[in-house]
Amino acid sequence: MSLGRVLADLSEENQKELVLPGGRGGKGNVHFATSTRQAPRFSQDGEKGQEREIILELKLLADVGLIGFPNVGKSTFLSRVTSAKPKIADYHFTTIIPNLGVVKSIYGDSFVIADIPGIIEGASTGIGLGIQFLRHIERTRLLLHVIDVSGIEGRNPVEDFKTINEELKTYSEKLATRKQIIVANKLDAMQNQELLEQLEELAKNKNIELFKISAVTGEGIDDLMNRVTTVLKELPKEELIEVEEKMVYTLEEKDEFSVTKVDDEYIVEGPAVERLMGRINIGDNESMHYFQKVIRTLGIEEELKKKGVKEGDTVKFLEWEFEWYQ
């Protein structure tokens, strides 16, 4: 789900991106000193900066994301494979904030795993905990889809799988194609073998790996984590967030202006005028000499004459009004 243009993805250490440039700096009076005018009073103010409203989104940096309905055992699993201590209880939405843990593999390396608060049907439209946590999954390279196969709550594992994946697809087409491993959890409390068999058949048809575990007893977890470690090494390091073509900011000055006659008044406006009026001090004679010089250099004076300006006419530069004289 995109909220607009992605201007930058700050995922590297000490990374910096220019989102909006400030205005050009001013010039002090020493800049205008000459051999004959060693203490000028004239100076230029800095230009106004631009304005833009942007949205900052915080997304977890994790290699593996645990997804699934509430109360399927994700937090128990995380506490089993890492040193994280998430809150664990036998009711839905025990986890209301994402939890991170570091897994140390048998090969000596490590990776980060994130326990994402339970997704439910309609999460992509804001139901339940809504989309506030779905965005964290975008950062992961591998999804472990934890499904309760115990049958204790009367859930259907196959329908749960389909529902969660439909929410992923609704939220992001790219996220829906992310590599998944099905984790059939709660073997220790399984009441109906047929539910597991149906899930195994679905995994076979979709060519998705399935591991049977019990997060409570630890059954099957070692095999699963060894496979996760191998898969992470095989997955390419792709750009998970697509950044649109970077904007190129320059301080190039554009001498654009327009002269319009409205009733008995000549209105001069445009980027060149805004820049000029931001630099001068109307109460200073030297600054006004600079002003007169620039409007000749830019061609504003010539354009005013073409429009028919006469001595005594009012010429307006932004909010400043001047009486024209030859």
Lowest mean pLDDT among 47-61, 78-92, 206-220, 259-273: 78-92
Residue 192 predicted with pLDDT over 80: yes
Q: What are phi and psi of 303, to 5 degrees?
A: -65, -40
Strands (E), the chain: 64-67, 99-104, 110-115, 142-148, 179-185, 210-212, 258-262, 265-269, 314-317, 320-323
Q: Which of 30-39, 130-139, 184-193 has the highest mean pLDDT?
A: 184-193
Kind plus residue range of the DSSP H or E element containing 233: helix 221-234
What pTM value is reported for the model? 0.57
Residues with Cβ within 8 Å of 219's Cβ and at least 6 positions away in sequence, in order, are 187, 188, 212, 213
Residue 219 predicted with pLDDT over 90: yes
pLDDT band at 218, cuts 50/70/90? very high
Residue 201 predicted with pLDDT over 80: yes
Contact 275, 46 (CB under 8 A): no
Q: 264: buried, middle or exposed (CB in 10 Å: 19+, 13-18, 0-12)?
A: exposed
Chain segment 288-300, per-residue pLDDT in tens? 888 888 888 889 9
Residue 235: its pLDDT value, please? 84
Lowest mean pLDDT among 47-56, 79-88, 196-205, 236-245: 236-245
pLDDT band at 123, cuts 50/70/90? very low
Domains for the chain: give ranges and CATH numbers.
64-234 (3.40.50.300), 250-323 (3.30.300.350)
Lowest mean pLDDT among 63-67, 103-107, 309-313, 314-318: 103-107
Residue 238 predicted with pLDDT over 60: no
Residue 148: its pLDDT value, please? 92
Residue 59: its pLDDT value, please? 61
Rounded average pLDDT over 77-93: 65
Higher pLDDT, 271 or 194: 194
Higher pLDDT, 274 or 193: 193
Residue carrying structure tokens 């994946």: 165
Residue 111 predicted with pLDDT over 90: no
Lowest mean pLDDT among 79-88, 110-119, 305-314: 79-88
Helix, strand, coil % over all residues of the chain, rounded to 5: 30, 15, 55
